[in-house]
């Protein structure tokens, strides 16, 4: 059994750790609040361009691999 976090958990945790609410994060990335909610609920995943915008919004806070759950840092 793996203890790896899923994208939805990683994204929500990072957003909250950075003190951003869903509205602020959505505006920073250029998507709707419902899009963020779908990602954080695990019902959808971002496409490649959206993932790039997420990384940019996190301003180098974590690696792309970490965001996708490929490593621990």
> Running DSSP on this structure, what letter comes out for residue 43?
S
| pTM tops 0.85 | no
18-68 confidence digits (pLDDT tens): 899 999 999 999 999 999 999 999 999 999 899 889 988 887 777 777 777
Query: In this predicted structure, what is the pLDDT of residue 1?
Result: 45
- Which CATH number, 1.10.260.40, 1.10.10.60, 1.10.20.140, 1.10.3720.10, labels domain 7-67? 1.10.260.40
Domain ranges of the chain: 7-67
> Running DSSP on this structure, what letter comes out for residue 3?
-
Question: What mean pLDDT comes out for the span 2-24?
Answer: 89
């Amino acid at each position: 059994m793996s203890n790896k976090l899923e994208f939805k958990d990683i994204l929500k945790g990072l957003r909250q750790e950075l003190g951003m609410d869903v509205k602020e994060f959505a505006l920073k990335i250029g998507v709707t609040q419902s899009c963020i909610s779908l990602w954080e609920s695990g019902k959808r995943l971002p496409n490649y361009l959206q993932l790039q915008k997420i990384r940019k919004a996190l301003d180098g806070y974590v690696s792309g691999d970490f965001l996708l759950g490929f490593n621990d840092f």
